[in-house]
Amino acid sequence: MAMTAAELENLLRAAFPDADIEVKDLAGDGDHYRAVIRSTAFAGKSRVAQHQMVYAALQGRVGGALHALALETSAKP
């Protein structure tokens, strides 16, 4: 079962309430997304650590309900 952009954004907002989040469905199939996330939670963390935080927030859905996710993360000033 695919995931909607709204479902993806809701999971991200729950984990990163202060974040600026932009979610785009890349293929129109509910399976391939791009997410841009700017959050103070990422301050001082490597890009790998930031992405690990996002994957944790998605609670195991990557590779299942969410086939592909292109991430762009950065710390919010």
**Model pLDDT, residue 27:** 85
Per-residue pLDDT of 28-75, as tens digits, reads 887 889 999 999 999 999 999 999 999 999 988 877 778 888 999 999
Query: What are the structure tokens assigned to 34, written together?
Result: 């791009």
Write down the pTM of the prediction.
0.89
pLDDT, mean of residues 22-26 = 93
Q: Could you give the number of structural domains in the chain?
A: 1
If residue 51 lies in a helix (H) or strand (E), which one and from where to where? Answer: helix 47-57
**Model pLDDT, residue 1:** 64
CA angle 51, 49, 5 (to 5 degrees): 20
**Model pLDDT, residue 64:** 77
Domain with residue 58: its CATH number is 3.30.300.90
Find the domain containing 65 and state its range: 5-75
Rounded CA-CA distance 63/77 in Å is 31
**Model pLDDT, residue 63:** 76
